[in-house]
Amino acid sequence: MDLASIVYLGVTFGMFVIFALIVIRTYSRKRKDEGEIAKYQMLDDD
């Protein structure tokens, strides 16, 4: 494998990891209420 392929794979893998982290963080049980609160607040009478 040449350098270009290693960089290519590394970047691709890195992006997937970042994506996975965002998903895990967003969907963690701990943050369930926090993550959904905005959708109720926006319905407040204005």
Partner 1 sequence: MENQPYNQAIVRSFVNWSIVWGLVAVLVGVIVSLQMVEPDLNFPPYFTFGRLRPVHTNAGIYGWGVGMIFATFLYMVQRLCKVPLWSDKLAKFQLWFFNATIIASAVTLLLGYTTSKEYHEMEWPIDVMVVILWVVFSINIIMTILKRKDEQMYISLWYMLAAIIAVAILYIVNAAAVPVSLFKSYSAYAGTNDANVQWWFGHNAVAMVLTAPFLAMFYYFLPKSTGVPIYSHRMSIIAFWSLIFMYLWTGAHHLLWTPVPDWIQTLAMGFSIMLIAPSWGSVFNGYLSMNGQWHQMRENYLVKFLILGITFYGLQTLQGPMQAIRSFSAFIHYTDWVPAHIHMGTMGWVSMIAFASIYYLVPRIYGRELYSIPLANLHFWLILVGQLIWSISLWIAGVLQAGMWNAMNPDGSLTYTFMETMVEMYPYWWARSFGGMIYMTGLIVFIYNLWMTAKKGGSIAAQTTVETTTVEGRA
Partner 2 sequence: MWERKPVLLIVLATVAILIGTIITMVLPFAWVNTEADRIESVTPYTALQQEGRDIYIREGCNNCHTQTVRPLVPEVLRYGDYSKSGEFVYDRPFLWGSKRTGPDLARLGGKYPDAWHYKHMESPRSMVPKTNMPAYGWITKNQLDPQMIQRKMDVLGFPYTTDEIKALGDKNEMDAMVAYLQKLGSDIPWRAAATTEIVGELINPFTGVDHDTMEPWEDLYKENCAACHGDHMEGVIGPKLVGADYYDEILFQIIYTGIADGGMPSFSNLGTDKVWKLVNFIRYYGQGEGH
User: What are the residues binding partner 2 (CB under 8 A)?
Assistant: 34-35, 38
Handedness of CA 9, 11, 12, 14 (dihedral sign): positive
Of 26, 45, 46, nearest to 35 by C-alpha is: 26
Examine residue 17 and tell whether it contacts partner 1 (CB under 8 A): no
Binding-site string for partner 1 from residue 22 to residue 41, where x marks contact by CB under 8 A and - marks none: xx--xx----xxxxxxxxxx
Nearest to 22 by CA among 35, 36, 3, 8: 35
- Least separation in angstroms between residue 4's CB and partner 1 is 10
Residues of this chain that bind partner 1 (CB under 8 A):
19, 22-23, 26-27, 32-46
